[in-house]
Chain A
Amino acid sequence: MPASVLWAVDLFGRVYTLSTAGQYWELCKDVQMEFKRVSAATQCCWGIACDNQVYLYVCSSDVPIRHREEAYENQRWNPMGGFCEKLLPSDRWSWSDVSGLQHRPLDGVELPSPHWEWESDWYVDENFGGEPTEKGGWTYAMDFPATYTKDKKWNSCVRRRKWIRYRRYKSRDTWAKIPSKDDPKELPDPFNDLSVGGWEITEEPVGRLSVWAVSLQGKVWFRRGVNSHNPCGTSWIEMVGEMTMVNVGLNDQVWGISCEDRAVYFRQGVTPSELSGKTWKAIIVGRESDRSHSGSSSSLLSAGCFFGDEVRGSGTESAPSDTDASSEVERQGPEQPFPKESLDDSRNLKGSLSKGPEASRNPEQNMENACPAESEGKAPEASSADECHGPASTPAELPWTNIDLKEPKRVSNQPAAGFPETTGLSSLGPFPLGMEEPYGADDHPLWAWVSGGGCAVEAGSVLKWFTVQSGQSPSVQMLSLSITPAQTAAWRKQIFQQLTERTKRELESFRHYEQAVEQSVWVKTGSLQWWCDWKPHKWVDVRVALEQFTGHDGARDSILFIYYMVHEEKKYLHVFLNEVTVLVPVLNEAKHSFALYTPERTRQRWPVRLAAATEQDMNDWLALLSLSCCESRKVHGRPSPQAIWSVTCKGDIFVSEPSPDLEAREHLLPCDQMFWRQMGGHLRIIEANSRGVVWGIGYDHTAWVYTGGYGGGCFQGLASSTSNIYPQSDVKSVYIYENQRWNPVTGYTSRGLPTDRYMWSDVTGLQECTKASTKPPSLQWTWVSDWYVDFSVPGGTDQEGWQYASDFPASYHGYKTMKDFVRRRCWARKCKLVTSGPWLEVAPIALGDVSIIPESAHADGQGHNIALWAVSDKGDVLCRLGVSELNPAGSSWLHVGTDQPFASVSIGACYQVWAVARDGSAFYRGSVSPSQPAGDCWYHIPSPPKQKLTQVSVGQTSVYALDENGNLWYRAGITPSYPQGSSWEHVSNNVRKVSVGPLDQVWVIANKVQGSHGLSRGTVCRRMGVQPREPKGQGWDYGIGGGWDHISVRANATMVPRNMSREQEAHGQGPVYC
């Protein structure tokens, strides 16, 4: 569960946050405003300040909120001047929107509010449907409106081009004023209460928020159009009725402030079945400032919460380490707040800073803010921060003094203050910050308001808020991967060391002594079901027995026997576990089943399939058999940094240790002999590099980083590491389609023609899928929502979610025409899976793709940061900063601007970054280097003719791309001076995923592979004969499968040593970039 925060306002109008991972109230970064109401969502907080205006605080994030404005320039050809702006009187505007109906001159497009800024000037989009146009970006047609092409023909009478300009929401980490809806004719009716919610409404797009406000006179207002692309919303609408104050958390937790002691209370024991909960529990944790009060309280209060971290870090003896330092950086992020500037100034300043070069245009501001600007780059020290902010914190310079405020008065002296709702406006006077210490450290805090809207507390999770804590902040512990203070403790080292010495002392000279207990055969037996070898294939009941023999040397050997009856005759088959290459859980919505492969069975495409009666039973067998396999192969513990990772279509994670002859020139190891073992967790994509950094992406696009542990999931106890295993969850949607046909009498009904598809079906229409009969993908998943209409299907829908077509199957559109006789709509239902594994969430940005720079094993890669690129689920390209072996999660994201959403990214050796946009075209990023991690600009690379690319993978020098029809393409003509290459060369079809490694080895997931007994879909394959002179290789070597979805060989730079010199030699002659 990622950390989320609770927002609260104290009696003096100061806003504090409390993290679920923290133990202190932190002061809000923007301390200009005093507030009486706040209402929070995960990424933002709405509030009513003491000037009775509504403000919005959008938390900073590495990814900007940006929106693309578009305008079209239209021209018509005439014989005199060629194409010119003179249009026919019946034509559209010469500057228009996409439809041509609306006049849209470039200088007429304005920012919706002062909280937005332009990212750049208008420019022409030279990209047309994934293909580059001629210079100028013109597209041609016979007449308006028509189909435009990028080629000019003899009959092209009109042309148009698209201008684009991005605007960016700039008021982050600061309170942005939302215009109120005051009618000048009426008496002013200030806002009195505000609440946000609605983010779990499944029918609405993600990021939508419901913002409601109540005025003093009880009027209820709703803020329209609040979503992730427009955090401010568009306007207030007055709603019918009156609303009382509500504050409900994400999972129906209730938060409140007692009027008796003004403590924050939490209604505990709220569950879906018992919504009223059990008891009120007071949150009694101290504030951060209370804690470090003795050391540097004054600096804390004046410097703001932000630097409190630093003060705490140096003031307390909390095991400082490298990882501690990095986690501090993580929390601070690249942007620093500038708390003591006036509201407007700080907004401008932030804007100008994020704009970079533009900042220099405003020397006045720059001078003023020289101090904070300096501190932006590096982690600020408490002392320097004090110097910066000290002078500004005197009350005389406080910017809000020019706002109409109530007279400040001391409320804590008025015991009759009553409940916050009634005190509302009048009693909550703001107190000048830093003028005096309002209360001593021993006082228990007096709260005025609380909001839990963005605070996710899952049922059954444990908070440390109800006891006073001592010791280190758990957020620090959580973020420090692989090295926890306990593990490095002296006592632990001492025990390890002494045990080793003891064994040496008591055993070394006495090994010839007889053992008191003789080792024997151990047998585990049980009942399973087996998918029989003969036709008709079906599940038959079998008895199974695992026999383990332990020799005197401790080596172990195991055989699995499967006893079955055929024609009343007892038979059995047996498998030596040291020959088993993988044990893999199988996707099956009804049975707990797994498959067992040996090299022979991999070639046959016919594994031994076994099913257990219960999940526990299957997990027991799977864990025991896996342990036996690993033991016989002496594979144990954390995978090596060079390990090959893969993911099955079920989301299970597998890892294989590459032997040196896996990528050998001669006598190479056939890849059906690779041994795969399972790692706990659930992922859709996994990427690794040879320095042990491994990232994964879940089905719900959550990013995860490998912690260095092993086991988890079904591997409990001995097969699992003690630490570094964390809970993990994943969410995905199941889709079914409702189909209807039109008839002249009743219109559209669920009565189809006899030849029609099922009226409730899957996307193809071939399978019947009703709401009642459709199950989650496997028994591990449970439904977490009801069925809802999915409006976000390609092609668009009408208001009820219907898509129309002339007949099944056809291309659907989102509006009804005369010719449409059928319609369908998509229903979705969310399901969730909960497991555990060696993975930690990298919050908060959801990812679609990720790539880590491959490094050869012998390269001197130590020390510098590891380049990692990703594409967010929304299509933003991102570059992770601060990734290293010690801090594999990195520190922050750097956003790389693009003109359109992207789908895939890959960074090869020597910082060659390639990416694929959602429209199917490829891009090369220029000038990426350690000193310029985001590079400078994109070079558009046309896709292969008539193909839309979906994925790209870059190795040492090879660049491979995949298109939507499963064709694999090699980029030819890449040289150091021309890294974009010249053309795409077709390599193979039947490919789903490609991974190119640091040795330029090419591995793919093949779509279909025929074996002697069966067909497998989703098979790991290696390209044969790949050599420096022949990078495309020839033919495939088929490995494990089917059911595999993803592979990453990008960590494997392991080679046979004698070949290494030859390899280097060859590289020395060939095109080398470094």
Chain B
Amino acid sequence: MTDDKDVLRDVWFGRIPTCFTLYQDEITEREAEPYYLLLPRVSYLTLVTDKVKKHFQKAMRQEDVSEIWFEYEGTPLKWHYPIGLLFDLLASSSALPWNITVHFKSFPEKDLLHCPSKDAVEAHFMSCMKEADALKHKSQVINEMQKKDHKQLWMGLQNDRFDQFWAINRKLMEYPPEENGFRYIPFRIYQTTTERPFIQKLFRPVAADGQLHTLGDLLREVCPSALAPEDGEKKNQVMIHGIEPMLETPLQWLSEHLSYPDNFLHISIVPQPTD
């Protein structure tokens, strides 16, 4: 690889091989075979699981079908988190394919949001985009866009069309040449070990002295517990899109290249696997 553009492509076309199995207590008319699918890392569960839903509905009686939800090793999977984030956070150390259990009953109201249709995903996605641009450009870029540009962003994600999405999204990744980056970096840091869903603070890409902030600077500032103590053993992995960028990586670069389509850097802090 020679160009940073290739990173965008690799990020976009990241896929997680997944095995969907129906929950054992669901009532079926006939045996439901597991369903295998390559899930796009950058998309959302309820956006890409039409086939799964159809597959299991065939094995069930109509009256037993209600809103579908997914669970991995006892944890309900939030559809409004990108798939790659869910995987990195919960299952990155386990073997592939990713085994997801499919439920149609007993919706966990306190853990999950309802997702009545794809419009809900769109609304969530666009609100994330707007929040990110508010941080990056005081919302100037997203507000100057036309309705059809917004639509193109969404359709690009929905139809997995990299070119279509990035033709518009690149405008959100620009910044004035006299600045060295965005106003603030849109990021969220997730940990499984805490109750708090995620950490999100205002953080600038460039220090007051003109130096570029790095991933390490960010963690030291907002989540010092994630970092290994001086000459101590590394206990956590800092993961984005299934990789562990070096702590020296400039945050601005990460934001431009490793953000999810919603323009946020979703960073997972997961315990270092023991083996």
A496–B210 touching, CB < 8 Å: no
Listed stretches A261-269, A516-524, A893-901; interface member: A516-524
Measured between beta carbons, the chain A residues less than 8 angstroms from B158 are: 517
In the complex, what residues of A have CB within 8 A of residue B43's CB?
Answer: 516-517
Stretch at the interface among A462-470, A806-814, A1053-1061: A462-470
**Does the CB pair B37–A514 fall under 8 Å?**
yes
Nearest chain A CB to B151's CB is how many angstroms away? Answer: 14
Determine if A469 and B159 form an interchain contact, defined as CB atoms under 8 angstroms apart: no
Query: Which of A492, A503, A507, A718 meets B166, CB within 8 Å?
Result: A718
Asked whether A462 lies within 8 Å of B243 as measured between CB atoms, the reply is no
Q: Is B97 an interface residue (CB 8 A)?
A: yes
Given A514-B38, A516-B38, check contact A490 B246 (CB 8 Å).
Answer: yes
- Asked if B38 and A513 make an inter-chain contact with CB atoms under 8 angstroms apart, the answer reads yes
The B1-36 residues at the A interface (CB cut-off 8 A) are 1-7, 10-11, 13-17, 36
In the complex, the answer to whether A516 meets B39 with C-beta atoms within 8 Å is yes
List the B side residues contacting A929 at CB < 8 Å: none
A364 CB contacts on chain B under 8 angstroms: none
**Distance in Å from the Cβ of B98 to the closest Cβ of chain A?**
9
A499-B11, A502-B14, A718-B163 known; A467-B210 Cβ under 8 A: yes
Q: Does B160 lie within 8 Å of A627, measured CB to CB?
A: no
B62 within 8 A of A: no
- Tally of contact residues, B, Cβ under 8 A: 51
A503 and B10 form a contact (CB under 8 A):
yes
Contacts of B160 in A (CB 8 A): 517, 519
B193 at the interface (CB under 8 A from A): no
Select A462's contact among B11, B15, B167, B177, beta carbons within 8 Å: B177
Interface status of B200 (Cβ within 8 A of chain A): no
Chain A: number of interface residues, binned into ranges: 35 or more
Q: Please give me the residue from chain B that is nearest to A709 by CB atom.
A: B3
B141 at the interface (CB under 8 A from A): no
Q: Is the CB of B1 within 8 A of A506?
A: no
Which one, A494, A721, A722, contacts B246 given CB within 8 A?
Answer: A494
A637 adjacent to chain B (CB < 8 Å): yes
**Chain A residue with Cβ nearest B257:** A495
What residues on B are CB-neighbors of A507 within 8 Å? 15, 17, 38
Which chain A positions have C-beta within 8 A of B4? 722-723
A522, B13: Cα distance in complex, Å: 18
For the complex, give the distance between the alpha carbons of A844 and B86 in Å: 56
Question: If the complex has contacts A471-B211, A507-B17, are A717 and B38 also in contact, measured as CB distance less than 8 A?
Answer: no
Q: In the bound complex, what is the Cα–Cα distance between A462 and B249 (angstroms)?
A: 26
Asked if residues A496 and B49 are in contact (CB atoms below 8 Å), the reply is: no
B7 touches A496 (CB 8 A): yes
Q: What is the CA–CA distance of A505 and B211 in the complex, to the nearest angstrom?
A: 36
Instruction: Decide yes or no whether B144 CB sits under 8 A from chain A.
Output: no
Interface string of B150-168 (1 = CB under 8 A from A): 0000000011110110110
Q: Which residues of A contact B7 (CB under 8 A)?
A: 495-496, 499
The answer on a CB contact under 8 Å between A522 and B164 is yes
B3 touches A516 (CB 8 A): no
In the complex, chain B residues whose CB is within 8 Å of the CB of A522: 159, 161, 164
Query: Do A716 and B170 touch across chains, with their CB atoms under 8 A apart?
Result: yes
> Closest chain A residue to B243 by CB distance?
A498
A492–B250 Cα distance when bound, in Å, is 10
Question: B248 contacts which chain A residues (CB < 8 A)?
Answer: 489-491
Query: A199 to nearest B CB, angstroms?
Result: 28
Asked if B128 is at the interface of the complex by the 8 Å CB criterion, the answer is no
A498 to B249, CA, bound (A): 14
Whether the pair A717, B37 counts as a contact (CB closer than 8 A) is no
Nearest 9 CB-CB pairings of A with B: A510-B17, A498-B243, A516-B48, A517-B160, A491-B249, A491-B246, A722-B4, A462-B178, A499-B10
What residues of chain A have their CB less than 8 Å away from a CB belonging to chain B? 462, 467, 469-471, 489-492, 494-496, 498-503, 505-507, 509-510, 513-517, 519-520, 522, 627, 637-638, 716-718, 721-723
Residues of chain B whose beta carbon lies under 8 Å from any beta carbon of chain A: 1-7, 10-11, 13-17, 36-40, 43, 48-49, 51, 96-97, 158-161, 163-164, 166-167, 170, 177-178, 209-211, 241-246, 248-250, 253, 257-258
Instruction: Beyond the given A469-B210, A496-B7, A510-B17, please list 8 additional residue pairs across the A-B interface where CB-CB is below 8 A.
Output: A502-B10, A502-B241, A510-B36, A510-B97, A513-B37, A516-B49, A516-B51, A522-B159
Q: Can you pick out 17 interface pairs between chain A and chain B where the beta carbons lie within 8 Å of each other?
A: A470-B210, A491-B250, A495-B246, A495-B249, A499-B1, A499-B10, A500-B10, A502-B241, A509-B17, A510-B96, A514-B37, A514-B51, A520-B159, A522-B164, A717-B166, A718-B5, A721-B5
